[in-house]
Amino acid sequence: EAGVVQSPRYKIIEKKQPVAFWCNPISGHNTLYWYLQNLGQGPELLIRYENEEAVDDSQLPKDRFSAERLKGVDSTLKIQPAELGDSAVYLCASSLGSLKEAFFGQGTRLTVV
Amino acid sequence: KNQVEQSPQSLIILEGKNCTLQCNYTVSPFSNLRWYKQDTGRGPVSLTIMTFSENTKSNGRYTATLDADTKQSSLHITASQLSDSASYICVVSATDSWGKLQFGAGTQVVVTP
């Protein structure tokens, strides 16, 4: 069975440009997470979905970040406009429930120049 | 202040040797503790998950221990191999946080020939 799939793997953009990341969770997983991971640090939660509802987006910088999970399956995370400090790895994870094991995708490495 | 502290920040060990990584947490009320392995450029992969009643859990050459009274956990790697070179992340969740995972910063392990 395929794991969590993210695309693209790498993205380089100029500052002030928009960027979007896509995540396809494991089939049947109703919980989906987006994390930001800076070099040498653990992941930090941006947003968590239970099905199509965002139940925890307290750490999402809503002035420039947005996310959606239409139909409770795939999800997209968007940044507009991107800033130099947004350079990081963006990880998507999914689980069968909020207290079940989370499976991570390989991440999207964003570089803003 | 991070609720999950890991030590050491990094370590170098010779192939075939053993090592132990530490994790102290303040997350409460405790639900479970997980150890993840993250290879460079990849998403984290779960090694073990332990609940309050579990003191130890093994996954091949990886053995995790948990002392819920002192809020400490360790991950022991036996007979290290070059493929063990990775970041090891301790993750703790609370029963009242609806699945919010608290991540440590990770311990970077380098196994040398």
Per-residue pLDDT reduced to its tens digit, A14-45? 999 999 999 999 999 999 999 999 988 999 99
> pLDDT value at position B20?
98
For a pLDDT cut of 70, what percent of chain A falls above it?
98
pLDDT class for B1, splitting at 50, 70, 90?
Answer: low
Residue A31 CA to residue A63 CA, distance in Å, equals 24
Each residue's pLDDT tens digit, B16-30: 999 999 999 998 888
Q: Tell if the CB–CB gap between B41 and A91 is shorter than 8 Å.
A: no
For a pLDDT cut of 90, what percent of chain B falls above it?
80
> pLDDT value at position A104?
94
User: Between vectors from CA B106 to CA B104 and to CA B107, what angle results, nearest 5°?
Assistant: 140
Question: How many Cβ atoms are within 10 Å of A89's Cβ, its own excluded?
Answer: 21
- Can you point out the beta strands (E) in A8-107? 10-13, 19-24, 31-37, 44-50, 53-56, 65-68, 75-79, 88-95, 103-104
> pLDDT value at position B98?
57
For a pLDDT cut of 90, what percent of chain A falls above it?
82
Instruction: Tell me which residue in A42, A43, A98 faces B98 most closely, judged by beta carbons.
Output: A98
Q: Which A residues 47-106 touch B at CB under 8 Å?
A: 48, 55-56, 91, 93, 95, 97-99, 101-106
Q: Tell if the CB–CB gap between A45 and B101 is shorter than 8 Å.
A: yes
> pLDDT value at position B13?
97
SS3 category, A13: strand
Average pLDDT value for chain A = 93
Each residue's pLDDT tens digit, B54-101: 999 999 999 999 999 999 999 999 999 999 999 999 999 887 655 678
